[in-house]
Structure 1
Amino acid sequence: MAWFALIIAGLFETFGVAMMNQYSVSKNWKPLVLLILGFCASLFLLEYSMNTIPMGTAYAIWTGFGVVGGTVVGMLFYGESRSWKRILFITIILCSSVGLKMVS
């Protein structure tokens, strides 16, 4: 259950980052509220998952998920670069997260 919570926390972090970008574009109150709710849910679920998963592993996977999710959302919805270098480094981050899971 903790791993599921950690994955959902990563999704909420990615959502919060997307809403941060949306807020910077529109300056509307709705993205700001969604940004705050997304990050609050993300932190709550991260804290919950850290009751079972070691802190270093949970935090590394949570931040990795946020980096990868934010980059993918940027590439898919906001026209950011899809260069092979970016994709290579996203792959390295994902492999590192899987490696942490395997050794912990």
Structure 2
Amino acid sequence: MAWISLVLAGLCEMFGVTMINKLHKDRNWQSLLLLILGFGASFLFLAYAMKSLPMGTSYAIWTGIGASGGAILGMLLYDESRDPKRLLFIALILCAAIGLKLIS
């Protein structure tokens, strides 16, 4: 259950990052509320996961999901660069997160 919670924390982190971009563009209270809810849920799921998973592993996977997911969402939603080198490094982040799961 801790691993599911950790993945949910990462997905909420991705949502929160997307809402930062939306708030920057729209400047409305709905975007701010969604940003707060996204990051709040992310921290709650992360805290739950850290009750049974090591801090270093939890934090690395959480940030990996958030960083790579945020970059992917930027490509899909905001037409950010899809340079092959960028995709390679996103894949390396995801491989590192999977590697941490395999050894934990």
TM-score (norm 1): 0.98
Task: Indicate whether 1:31 and 2:31 are aligned.
Answer: yes
Matched residue pairs, number?
Answer: 104
Runs of 4 or more, structure 1, over 4 Å off, are none
1:26 partner amino acid: D
1:84 partner amino acid: P
Look up the SS of the partner of 1:82 in the other structure: coil
* Aligned-residue identity in percent: 57
Mapped to 2, the partners of 1:66 and 1:98 lie a distance apart of 14
Instruction: Look up the match of 2:76.
Output: 76
**Cα distance, 1:87 vs structure 2:** 0.3
1:38 partner amino acid: G
Spell out, residue by residue over 1:24-62, the C-alpha distance to the aligned partner (whole angstroms, 9 max, x if none). Answer: 001111111000010000000000000111110000000
Task: Indicate whether 1:101 and 2:101 are aligned.
Answer: yes
Unaligned runs of 5+ in 2: none
Unaligned runs of 5+ in 1: none
